[in-house]
Amino acid sequence: MIKKYRFGTPIDTGAVLTEIEVFNITELSPFTFKKDSQGYEFNLQLKKLDVVYGLGEQVRGINKRGWIYKSYNEDDCIITESRTSLYGSHNFILVNAINNFGAFFDFPGKVTFDIGYTDSRYMKITCCGDGYLYIITSDDNDLNTIVKNFREIIGQSYIPPKWAFGIGQSRWGYKSQEDITEVIEGYKQAGFPLDMVYMDIDYMQDYEDFTLNEERYPDFSNFVKKAKKEGVRLIPIVDAAIKVKDDYFVYREGLERSAYCTDEEGNPFVVGVWPGDSVLPDVLNEESGKWFAENYKFYLDYGIEGFWNDMNEPALFYSKKRLQANVAKLKRLKSELNIDEFEKMRHLIYALQNNVADYKDFYHNINGQKVRHDLVHNLYGYKLTKCSAEYLKKYQPEKRHLLFSRSSYIGMHRYGGIWTGDNASWWSHLLLAFQMLPSLNMCGFLYVGADVGGFGQNTTQDLLLRWMALAVFSPLYRNHATQGTRNQEPYRFKAEEKFLQLMKTRYMLLPFIYSEYVKCALNNDMLFKPLAFVYPDDVRARTVEDQLMMGDAIMLAPVYTQNAVGRYVYLPEDMLEVRFTYAGIKTKQRKNGNHFINIALDQVCVFLKKGKVLPIAKPAMHAEDVDFNNLTFIKNIDKETTYTLCMDDGETTEDLRNYLVDVKVMP
C-alpha cells in the first residue's frame, strides 16, 4: 500500500512513474509534520529495537541508526566515517519496527536524515524545499514486499548487456593506445579473463568531451575493433562540463542553442573542472539534454558500446565568479606575512572547491521556468544519465549499452548503474562497499560496484585479493586506481595463480550472477539482502552487519580485515558451505550457529541455503564465452527442484521474461 503526500508545490523529479492519489499532509502518519523557516520537518519516535535501512550510497553500516546523513551530492574523495553525504542521494528509508514501513522523500534539494544522532530516541528528517513523501507499507508486514511495492512505482531497474558482468580494468593514467594494449597483453600473458578496459580523461584532446587525442590514438577505429576481437570492450569516460573555448565545436553549438546553465543575468555560468574554465550543459532542460547526449554519437561511430558518466554532481573546482572575488580579496591582504593573514589566505583558497554556495548562483531552464540549481541539485547526474541512455537507445535500439554514473538520484536506476566514486585502498572501504549493496538495491540500483582494490592510496596484494573475492559477486566489477598510486592491475603482483583462481570463480558463477540479476530487475527484487529480510524472526540476524544474502540461494561472508586467516560466520540455519579452491569446489554441511571459517586469500566461500542449488559454468576468458548450456549444480536439496536461468544473447532489448528457462535439477 502506498500513500502519497505533497508538501508545498514540488517539481516533478520523474523518480516515481505510477500515478498515485495525493493526500493532505496534515493526515500524515506515522511521522509528525511541521513547517518552519528552514523547510519541512518530519519526526518519528524510534523504539529500542527498531532498525533503519536504506539511503543507498551512504557512509556507515547497514543499520543507519546513530548518525546524521545528508542527501546533497558531493564530490569529495576523502570518504571517512565523519562524512554525511557522498556522490549519490537516495532518499528512501525502511523502518523495521513493530510496524514496518518505507518512506521516500522525493525532493531533489538538500534533505537531512538525523537518525538518532541528536537524540537516539528520535528520527528527524528535514527537507529544505517542496516535495512529495511516499509512505509504503504491505499487508503482510514483510520488508521484501515493502521494497517491492516501492520499486514497482519507481520502475524497472537498468539491465546492462551480459558482457558488462565480466571483469574490467581501469586506471587514471592510461594515456595512449600503447598503454591500453599493454593492459590487454598483461591480462593475456597472465591467463586472466578480461572484458573491458576503461579510458579515463587522458584519451581526450585537452579534456574536451567528444574529442580524441589523435596523437595518442592515431587509429582509434581499428583499435576499438582489434580490442573487441580480443574480447575486450573500451569504455570511455564522459565528463559533465564542456570547456570554454571559441573554436571547440561542442562549446559553440551549446552556446548557439542556449544549452548551458546560466547565472542570474542569463549568461553561461563558468566553473572550473578538468578542462579549466567550463560550462555545464543544462541537462534538466529536455532540449539541451537531448543535444548534449547526441554527441555520444562521436564514440558510437567508432564502435564504442559503453560509457561512464563522471563529474556530474556537478563537481566544481571553482566557480569563476568566486575565484575572481577571492583572488581580489587575496590581493588586498596586507603585505606582511603573519598567522592572521595566512588564515585568511587559506580560507579564501579552501572556500573555492565544491563550495555549496555556488549551487545557489546558477539556474536551469525547466519547461521555461527558471529554477535555481540548489533546489534541484541532486537531479543533475540522474538527468545527464537519463538523456545519454535515451540517446543510446534511440541510436542503436537493437542492443543494450553499458552505462553508469558517479552522481545519481532515485529514478536514474532505470537508465544506468553507479559506481560509488573515489574510495581508497583501505580495508574499511572494502566493508563499506559490501554494506552499501543492499541499501542501493532497495533504492532500485542493481548494477553497482566500488572501485576494486580502492581508487586512492596504495593497495596491497592481500587487500586486492580479498577485494576481488568480494567482487566476484559485485554486478559491476572494475579495478580502478588514481594516478600516482601503486600499480593495481592484478598481473603486476607476484601471486598470479591466486588472482587467477578468484577471477575464474567470477566467470564460473556468471550464469548465477547474471540470471539472479535479471530476475531481480524483472521482479523488483533486491539482489543483496540483509539477513533480517530472509530470517525476520531471528533476533541475532537483525544485528549482522557483515554478511548478506544474495539472490535466493546463497549467503556471503567476505573477509575484510588484514592478516585474517578467516572469520566468524553466523549461520541462521543449517547450510552447505561451498568453497572454490584450486583443487575444485569443496562442500561441507554446517549446522546453524556461529562458526570460525578459515578462508585462504585465494578462496571464495559461500553458504548455500537448504532446498537451493547453485549453477556453475566452466571458467571462460570473457563473459560472452561462458557456456550457459553446460552447467553443473552444487546442490543442497533432497528432492527435485528447478533453477531459472536467463538464456538471452546478452544484448537483446526484448522482454527478458521470454528468455527465462527452468532447468530441472535432481538431488
Cβ atoms of 311 and 271 within 8 Å: the answer is no
Instruction: Give 424's Cβ-side CA count (13 Å radius).
Output: 11
Binding mask 23-42 for ligand GLC (x = CB under 6 A): --------------------
Smallest gap from Cβ 238 to ligand GLC, in A, equals: 10
Count, in order, helices (H) and strands (E) of the chain.
Answer: 14, 40
Cβ atoms of 189 and 162 within 8 Å: the answer is no
| Number of residues located near ligand GLC, criterion CB under 6 A | 10
Give backbone dihedrals phi and psi of 175, rounded to 5 degrees, phi first.
Answer: -105, -20
The verdict on 200 binding ligand GLC (CB under 6 A) reads yes
Smallest gap from Cβ 636 to ligand GLC, in A, equals: 40
Smallest gap from Cβ 661 to ligand GLC, in A, equals: 37
Which residue's C-alpha cell is 549551487? Answer: 359
Query: Whole-angstrom Cα distance, residue 267 to residue 433?
Result: 41
Strands 641-646, 660-665: parallel, antiparallel or unpaired by DSSP?
antiparallel
Smallest gap from Cβ 200 to ligand GLC, in A, equals: 5
Residue 200 or residue 546: which is nearer to ligand GLC going by CB?
A: 200
Residue 236 or residue 530: which is nearer to ligand GLC going by CB?
A: 236
Query: Which residue among 310, 489, 525, 648 contacts ligand GLC (CB under 6 A)?
Result: 310
Residue 310 or residue 648: which is nearer to ligand GLC going by CB?
A: 310
Cβ atoms within 10 Å of 60's Cβ, excluding its own: 20
Judged by CB under 6 A, the chain residues 387 through 406 that form the site for ligand GLC are 406
Binding mask 428-467 for ligand GLC (x = CB under 6 A): ----------------------------------------
Smallest gap from Cβ 528 to ligand GLC, in A, equals: 23
Q: C-alpha cell of 298? A: 562521436
Query: Whole-angstrom Cα distance, residue 102 to residue 133?
Result: 10
Nearest to 437 by CA among 381, 537, 520, 499: 520
Give backbone dihedrals phi and psi of 215, rounded to 5 degrees, phi first.
Answer: -70, -40
Smallest gap from Cβ 567 to ligand GLC, in A, equals: 30
Residue 195 or residue 239: which is nearer to ligand GLC going by CB?
A: 239
The verdict on 421 binding ligand GLC (CB under 6 A) reads yes
Binding mask 469-508 for ligand GLC (x = CB under 6 A): -----------x-x--------------------------
Residue 365 or residue 420: which is nearer to ligand GLC going by CB?
A: 420
Smallest gap from Cβ 422 to ligand GLC, in A, equals: 5
The verdict on 236 binding ligand GLC (CB under 6 A) reads no
Residue 424 or residue 503: which is nearer to ligand GLC going by CB?
A: 424
User: CB-based burial of residue 584 (10 Å sphere; 0-12 exposed, 13-18 middle, 19+ buried)?
Assistant: exposed
Smallest gap from Cβ 218 to ligand GLC, in A, equals: 22
State the residue number with the nearest CB to ligand GLC.
172
Residue 13 or residue 479: which is nearer to ligand GLC going by CB?
A: 479
Residue 149 or residue 485: which is nearer to ligand GLC going by CB?
A: 485
Smallest gap from Cβ 412 to ligand GLC, in A, equals: 16
Residue 209 or residue 310: which is nearer to ligand GLC going by CB?
A: 310
Four-point Cα dihedral 219, 223, 225, 229, nearest 10:
150
Q: Can you tell me whether residue 421 is helix, strand or coil?
A: coil
The verdict on 422 binding ligand GLC (CB under 6 A) reads yes
The verdict on 237 binding ligand GLC (CB under 6 A) reads yes
DSSP 167-199: EEE--TT--SHHHHHHHHHHHHHHT----EEEE
The verdict on 201 binding ligand GLC (CB under 6 A) reads yes
DSSP 361: S
For residue 541, give every residue at least 6 positions away whose Cβ sits within 8 Å of its Cβ, in sequence order, or none: 531, 532, 534, 535, 570, 572
The verdict on 125 binding ligand GLC (CB under 6 A) reads no
User: CB-based burial of residue 531 (10 Å sphere; 0-12 exposed, 13-18 middle, 19+ buried)?
Assistant: buried
Query: Whole-angstrom Cα distance, residue 187 to residue 189?
Result: 6
Walk across the sheet containing 451-452 and list its strands: 448-449, 417-419, 402-405, 306-310, 233-239, 196-199, 167-169, 477-479, 451-452
Residue 281 or residue 421: which is nearer to ligand GLC going by CB?
A: 421
Strands 402-405, 306-310: parallel, antiparallel or unpaired by DSSP?
parallel
Smallest gap from Cβ 440 to ligand GLC, in A, equals: 17
* DSSP alpha helix (H) spans, 108-219: 143-154, 177-190
Smallest gap from Cβ 474 to ligand GLC, in A, equals: 16
The verdict on 374 binding ligand GLC (CB under 6 A) reads no
Residue 150 or residue 409: which is nearer to ligand GLC going by CB?
A: 409
Smallest gap from Cβ 240 to ligand GLC, in A, equals: 11
Which residue's C-alpha cell is 507499507? Answer: 137
Residue 238 or residue 569: which is nearer to ligand GLC going by CB?
A: 238
For residue 228, give every residue at least 6 positions away whose Cβ sits within 8 Å of its Cβ, in sequence order, or none: 303
Residue 482 or residue 501: which is nearer to ligand GLC going by CB?
A: 482
Cβ atoms of 189 and 181 within 8 Å: the answer is no
Judged by CB under 6 A, the chain residues 163 through 192 that form the site for ligand GLC are 172
Residue 92 or residue 172: which is nearer to ligand GLC going by CB?
A: 172
Smallest gap from Cβ 92 to ligand GLC, in A, equals: 24
Binding site residues, ligand GLC, CB under 6 A:
172, 200-201, 237, 310, 406, 421-422, 480, 482
